[in-house]
Every structure is written in C-alpha cells, then in structure tokens.
Chain A
Amino acid sequence: MFQTVALSGSRGERLLFSDVSVTVKPGTLLAVVGENGSGKTSFLRMLCGLLSPDGGAILWQGEDIRQLKELYTAQLTYVGHLNGIKDELTPVENLKLSACLAGDKSSGAIVQKALEAVGLGRSVHRLPTRVLSQGQKRHVALARLWLSTRPLWLLDEPFASLDTAATSYLTQRLQAHLSNGGMVVIATHQEIALPTDSIQHLRLAR
C-alpha cells in the first residue's frame, strides 16, 4: 500500500499543493489531473523521492520513504517527463542498459519483444534513437514497463505524443499490471479506458 499524508510542496516561493492525503491500494490507479503548472510533475517527482516535500510524508507499506531509501526505489518504475534514453544508442541498447541497471531481465530477445509490444517495429530497433520521432522515442521509454516487475509505477504524461494504437497497448499493459496487484500513479490530461472502480482521481488546483 502506498500513501501520502498531508503532503505539501512548492517550487521556489510558489505553493503548488498542500495537505494532499491519498492512499493507493494494490490493484488501483491514481490519476493526477490538473491544469498545466498545477504541480503534477512535482508531485510525481516527490513520490519518487527526487524532490523533498515541504511538509507531510510519503509512506510505502507504512514506512517513510526517506527512511527506506534504496529499499523504496527498488519498488518503483518511473517514466518521467524526460524520456531518460540516450540519443546515440539504439532502442535495443537503451532498453537493455536501463533494464540491466534496474535489475530487470535484459536479454536481447526479451528487449525486442518489449519494443514490439509497445508498437515499435523491428526496422527501427537498430537505428540510433536520435533519428526517431518524438512519439517513437516515447515508445522506447515506455517499453521499460513491459520489462518492469516492480509493484509501483509512476508515470508522467505517458499518453502524450502516442498514437491510438500505442495508447491502447499501454492501457492494456496498465490493466495487466493492476490485475497483478500492481499500483499506478499517473499524471495525465486524458481519460484512461480502465474500469472506473480501479481508478481514483486527484485534482491539483492552481
């Protein structure tokens, strides 16, 4: 179970959100919605532990993530606003290295299958990522989710610049993760085509 208790955060002088208390149970998804600049990305980065909160706490299985440190980061997969991939490497190399570093399976066949699952054809597997389109780069970043066995996924605008096919692949993947008892926190502007009983919304207001 994943919880935030009276969480508040700010950027510079500006208070973004305060007193946010939510609980994400296994098998459920938390959709963080709000206008641009309402603090969705900061909220997600805070949940990763990249940003420290102004007040309140983030609890994983009842323990503060600041105490858990690496034990907590071993539980999560974060796909941020930035893709976190290297332009000079091919999609296969990128995915292999990030999976290897995260401790997921990273054999060539598994990585290729993950790239195909997200809708990236074999023709681009051996090209440098630099020559791919924005959407295709996003595919490479999201392909990590097909390799991840971590229970908690934190996704920042994963649907942005995806085509309809990839959107439905990703939705299916989220569905599979949730039915395995996984947890997802997602910042998005879009409606997610998942059963409504597994989704709760958090609106961050400016």
Chain B
Amino acid sequence: MSQPSMSEALRGVVRRDLLLAMRHRSDVAMSVFFVVIVASLFPLGVGPEQAVLRMIASGVLWVTALLACLLSLGRLFTADYLDGVLEQTLLIPQPLAVLVVGKVFAHWVISGLPVVLLSPLLGLQFGLSGDSLWVLTLSLLLGTPTLSMLGAIGAALTLGLRGSGLLVALLVLPLFVPVLIFGAGAVTSSLAGIGSEANLSLLGACFLLSLAFAPWATAVALRIALE
C-alpha cells in the first residue's frame, strides 16, 4: 500500500483549495474590492490633507487588511465541514496540523496576498512614498500570514456554531493586536526616519511563533468540532 508523503498531502490540500477559489472567483474579487473601497473611504471622510493622510495611512491600511482577513475566515473550514470533506481530511494519514498549514496557506494566497500586492497602490493614495511604501508592503507580507494563522484557530473553535461570524471576531481580534501594533509601527517608524527593522523583526517573530503553535491549536479545535 502506498502512503502519500507529507509534502504530497500538503500539496493536495493547497491544490484543492486554490482550485475551488478559481471556481469562486467572485469571492476572491469581493475581498479585494472590500479592501480598495474601505481604504478609499478614509481620504474621502478625513479630507485630502496630505500630512493627516500620511499619518493615518499605516493604521488604516493595516486595519483594512485585518478586517479583510476576518471576513474571509468564515470560508476557511465551514464549507468543508458541511460537505464532509473535513471529516475525510481528518482521516488522511498525516498529522492534521500539517494539513491545516496547507489550508491556511491557500487561505492566505486567496485573501492575504491580493492585499499585499495592492498595498503599494493604496499607500500612494495616502501619500506614502519611497521607503515607507516598501516597508508597508513588507510588513503586510510578513503580517498577513500571521493573521490567517491566528484566524484559523478562531474559525476552528467556532465551527458549526450559530452566529459564528461575530464570535470569530471577538475571539480573534484581540490576538491580532500585536501584529497590528508591530505592522503599523514599522510604517510609522519608517516615516519618522528611525528605521523599521525592530518592528519588522518582531513581525517575523510573531509569524514564526504562530507557525509553531497555531496549526497545532487549530488541529485540536477541529477534532473537537467534529466529535
């Protein structure tokens, strides 16, 4: 009997979720439009004062990215739970935490990566330029995978519950706080000219820490949800 290797199973999980996203292109487009629209509302509301916009840019864009992640968390496990695919995933003879990493990675590609790619454009809208624009993109690139990873814990814990959307927000938003502080802080410090390395290193540390613990916690929560 042939056993799939761990990387093969991981690739299979990612491939399935990306294939499904290709069939649901409108879902992906929706989260992109959400980010663009929310980020565009602030200049309209606050006024076109360049100094003010530059000051709030990092905070606004980071909160937008955070909300976009939150909105798409509902899709992470719910469909799989309802059609029985999750049940079969639990029976794949590989550590569940590894398969969770695959699912989270696919989720990030669908919901996080577009935000990262759009961020230079959105940054320009807020009058960021040069170095700080680059730092914004880098901070989102480091931070959004962490958001997906932490979000997965919340999504797994609230799986199958009524009104889980709001509950996920309550569970997960406090966990997002350090990522938000370091991410927005990196851009602010780069604007102030004091260098963003410290904040970016801390974001990297957050990512590694969540990579070590979040998949495992998510796996435990999924097993409980399916009991």
Given A84-B84, A97-B12 in contact, is the A103-B20 Cβ separation under 8 Å?
no
- B8 contacts partner chain A, Cβ-Cβ < 8 Å: yes
The answer, among B2, B90, B227, for a CB contact under 8 Å with A104, is B2
Pairwise interchain contact A103-B85, C-beta atoms closer than 8 A: no
B9 touches A88 (CB 8 A): no
Interface presence of A132 (CB below 8 A): no
In the bound complex, what is the Cα–Cα distance between A98 and B12 (angstroms)? 8
Complex: A50 Cα to B81 Cα, angstroms: 13
Chain B contacts for A149, CB-based, 8 A: 1-2
Query: Given the complex of chains A and B, what is the CA–CA distance between A27 and B63 in angstroms?
Result: 60
Say whether chain A's binding surface is mostly helix, strand, loop, or mixed: loop
Q: A85 on the interface (CB 8 Å rule)?
A: yes
Contact (A84, B88) CB under 8 Å given A100-B4, A100-B12: yes
Chain B proximity mask over A91-107: 1 for CB below 8 Å, otherwise 0? 00100011011111100
Most B-side CB within 10 Å, residue of A98, A101, A128: A101
A93 to B4, CA, bound (A): 18
Write out the residue numbers on chain A whose beta carbons fall within 8 Å of the beta carbon of B91: 48-50, 73, 76, 78
Contact A73:B93 (CB < 8 A) given known A104-B2, A149-B1: yes
- Distance A82 CA – B90 CA, assembled complex (angstroms): 14
Q: How many whole Å from B178's CB to the nearest CB in chain A? A: 33
A109 on the interface (CB 8 Å rule)?
Answer: no
Residue B83 CB within 8 A of the other chain? yes
Residues in A whose Cβ lies below 8 Å from that of B84: 80-85
What is the chain A residue whose CB lies nearest that of B22? A88
For the complex, is A13 an interface residue (Cβ under 8 Å from B)? no
Asked if B1 contacts A74 (CB within 8 A), the reply is yes
Q: Give, as a whole number of angstroms, the nearest-CB distance from A58 to chain B.
A: 14
For B16, the chain A residues whose CB sits under 8 A away are 86, 89, 97
In angstroms, how far is the closest chain A Cβ from the Cβ of B31? 18
Contact of B88 among A78, A81, A87 (CB under 8 A): A78
A98 touches B20 (CB 8 A): no
Task: Given A50-B226, A84-B87, A89-B20, answer yes or no on A101-B3 (Cβ-Cβ < 8 Å).
Answer: no
Would you give 11 A-B contacts (Cβ < 8 Å), ordered by A? A73-B91, A74-B93, A80-B88, A83-B83, A85-B83, A88-B20, A97-B15, A97-B16, A101-B12, A101-B13, A103-B9
Report the Cα distance A150→B90, complex, angstroms: 16
In the complex, B162 has a CB within 8 A of chain A: no
A165 within 8 A of B: no
Tell me if A15 counts as interface (CB < 8 A to partner B): no
Cα-based distance from A83 to B84 in the complex (angstroms): 6
A86 contacts B83, CB within 8 Å?
Answer: yes
Q: Contacts of B83 on A, CB cut-off 8 Å?
A: 82-87
Bound CA–CA A93/B12 (angstroms): 11
With a cutoff of 8 Å between Cβ atoms, the chain B residues found around residue A78 in the complex are 87-88, 91
* Docked-complex contact B95 and A70, CB < 8 angstroms: yes
A51 part of interface (Cβ distance < 8 Å):
yes
**A186 and B96 alpha carbons, distance in the complex (Å):** 26
Q: Is A38 an interface residue (CB 8 A)?
A: no
A49: chain B residues at CB < 8 Å are 91
| B92 x A50 contact (CB < 8 A) | no
Contacts of B88 on A, CB cut-off 8 Å?
78, 80, 84, 98, 101
Q: Nearest chain-A residue to B21 (Cβ)?
A: A88
